[in-house]
A and B are shown apart, each in its own frame.
Chain A
Amino acid sequence: MYTFSNKLRIASIILMIVGALGIGIGFISAPSTVEEAKAMVASHDDSHGDSHADETSHAVSEGHEEEAHAEGHDAAHDVHVLHQLQNKPWAALYVAAFFFFMIALGALAFYAIQRASQAGWAPLLFRVMEGITAYLVPGGIIVFVILVLSVMHMNHLFVWMDADVVAHDKLLQGKAGFLNPTFFLVRAVIFLGGWILYREYSRKLSLKQDESDDNSNFKLNFKISAAFLVFYLISESMMSWDWIMSVDPHWFSTLFGWYVFASMFVCGITVIAMVTIYLKSKDYLPEVNDSHIHDLAKFMFGISVFWTYLWFSQFMLIWYSNIPEEVTYYVTRINDFKLPFFGMVVMNFVLPLLLLMNSDYKRINWFVIMTGIIILAGHYLDIFNMIMPSTVGKQWSIGIPEIGSVLFFAGLFIFWIFRALTKAPLQPKRNPFIEESKHFHY
């Protein structure tokens, strides 16, 4: 049995407290009026203010009608900036909440695949994966609460939830059959319910298998895992349209679901590897050997490349055809998010590719941990790049609200998964493949 070390518990609680403070500061310092927003932007970014002044004076010199138009436009622009600044703490919270939730969901998909494919090496790590997927319940509830608050107009994350906007937007009216608040929440409940149901049921069967004297629990778990994967592929794709693509409701991409899937899958595998290495370093997983770590590192390597393949396929197809209604998505990202947008490709592709290519390096535990940290940071940026451009736009930064949110959810994540790991023995007793897994050698 694993005992939650006091040090880790205190560290996770400190993370949560510091993070909660950061989130609070983010919400308090968000502007509530147009004047405050203008003052913030002016003090924050002088060069931006200057160029803006130039534009205004230019407009003034072009005659009276133009002037009136420019003033009206300026007022609209100021309200726009206000909304973006008000969105900042919400978007920071949402990105971090979704990021940690998606790690648990990616680990769940990996777990179901190991069960459905009857992998011989994995059973030794099933309890670690089950511990990580325990975060689905609190993480899913938090994401759902944020979605409900969005529907209740507490924030402007999802522009299609604003009835006034939809009334003046033909495109959004056309999509209202799918993108309407009620159906949106119903879908979210179905997705979360399905994922949590599978996780809890599979965990129960997994624990029952230890105590039973036949393999019926194992077989049932195999069947429901295969069925879950079918449900997961459909629901995950639709979830990515709902929760991520719809912050930008004028834009769509057909491979978006797969792209988000690759991101969550590689994060889930990375966290499985990191938690396994941590537990092994504390002598809780004596039977896990370097070959298990090697296998996980190969998955980290392979899925990182798979993520890049999807990222590039989406980017290159849109860049190449350059259709205005699609390409704005990348225009805003390349203009306003140049460093996170391209830095993410370096962190999620170039570094894992070079660091994990060598077979020997995949067996060095601290090397896998270091690469894992890069991959996780890179995929946080990936989600950041999906949400931020259409919610806060040019006003983005990685400051107190963003870092605070990450710290809070990191603390909650660590607290919850290590608490779940104490609930059952870390090594399954009578999984049919456990002997093979113990002697797994690559």
Chain B
Amino acid sequence: MASKVIHAYYNDDDVLMNAVKKVKGAKHHIEEVYCPFPVHGLDKAMGLAPTRIAITSFIYGCVGLIVSIVMMDYIMIQDWPQDIGGKPSFSYLENMPAFVPIMFELTVFFAAHLMVITFYLRSRLWPFKKAENPDVRTTDDHFVMELAIHDNEKELKNLLMDTGAVEINVSEK
């Protein structure tokens, strides 16, 4: 099914924010908004669900902590408990202060890197990925709001013109 979308161009983020609120108020579904930079409060205006990436990061940090503890307990205490400079290697707890720097670093390492990879996966970003923005100007100085057309092209056009759009294009998707 060939569906049509409408692209409304704006050249100011305040105008865009008001337009988003107006379009949401008129109960139209906004497919996407393309911006050259983060617009503060846009996600709230669009009604996007809050991100859960911080929660994933906390879980990854816990994984990193467990990996470091298990690794050093196995290597330093279970597998070959040598006397290295008189440090007590009888139990993990006895020698724990020496392991804390590694525990800390691995926690941060797992939390940071796995969160970034999660972000890439969820945002579908990778090298050689084809750019998705509908117009190169959206990376420089224009904002584009994309709405799907359901036999209401004229009504949508009028609404978007009212919101201060500088240009309106209809294209096949």
Contact = CB atoms under 8 A, between A and B. Distances in A.
Interface of A: 312, 315-316, 319-320, 322, 357, 359
A359 B54 contact: yes
B86 A312 contact: no
Tell me whether chain B's interface is mostly helix, strand or loop, or mixed.
Answer: helix
Contact of B100 (A316, A357, A359): A316
B97 A319 contact: yes
A322 B98 CA distance: 12
Contacts of B54: 359
Contacts of B58: 357
Given A315-B97, A357-B58, 10 more contacts: A312-B97, A312-B100, A316-B97, A316-B98, A316-B100, A319-B97, A320-B97, A320-B98, A322-B86, A359-B54
Interface string B83-120: 00010000000000110100000000000000000000
Contacts of A315: 97
A357 B107 CA distance: 15
Interface of B: 54, 58, 86, 97-98, 100
A365 B100 CA distance: 33
Contacts of B97: 312, 315-316, 319-320
B72 to A, nearest CB: 15
A359 B57 CA distance: 14
A320 B88 CA distance: 11
A69 B19 CA distance: 93
B112 to A, nearest CB: 15
Nearest to B55: A358
Contacts of A359: 54
A417 B114 CA distance: 48
Contacts of B98: 316, 320
A335 to B, nearest CB: 15
Nearest to A360: B50
B109 to A, nearest CB: 18
A306 to B, nearest CB: 14
A278 to B, nearest CB: 30
5 contacts: A312-B100, A316-B98, A319-B97, A320-B98, A322-B86
A349 to B, nearest CB: 12
B128 to A, nearest CB: 35
Nearest to B98: A320
Contacts of A312: 97, 100
Contacts of B86: 322
B51 to A, nearest CB: 11
A357 B97 CA distance: 24
Contacts of A319: 97
B101 to A, nearest CB: 8
A322 B58 CA distance: 35
Nearest to A315: B97
A359 B54 CA distance: 10
A299 B147 CA distance: 43
A433 to B, nearest CB: 20
Contacts of B100: 312, 316
B133 to A, nearest CB: 30
A359 B58 CA distance: 13
A355 to B, nearest CB: 13
A342 to B, nearest CB: 11
A31 to B, nearest CB: 38
A316 B100 CA distance: 9
Contacts of A316: 97-98, 100
A334 to B, nearest CB: 12
B43 to A, nearest CB: 15
Which of B86, B97, B98, B100: most chain A Cβ within 10 A? B97
The 6 closest A-B pairs by CB, nearest first: A316-B97, A319-B97, A320-B98, A312-B100, A316-B100, A320-B97
A322 B100 CA distance: 17
A346 to B, nearest CB: 15
A357 B86 CA distance: 38
B50 to A, nearest CB: 10
A320 B86 CA distance: 10
A370 to B, nearest CB: 21
Nearest to B40: A441
A288 B116 CA distance: 35
A315 B58 CA distance: 27
B49 to A, nearest CB: 14
B45 to A, nearest CB: 15
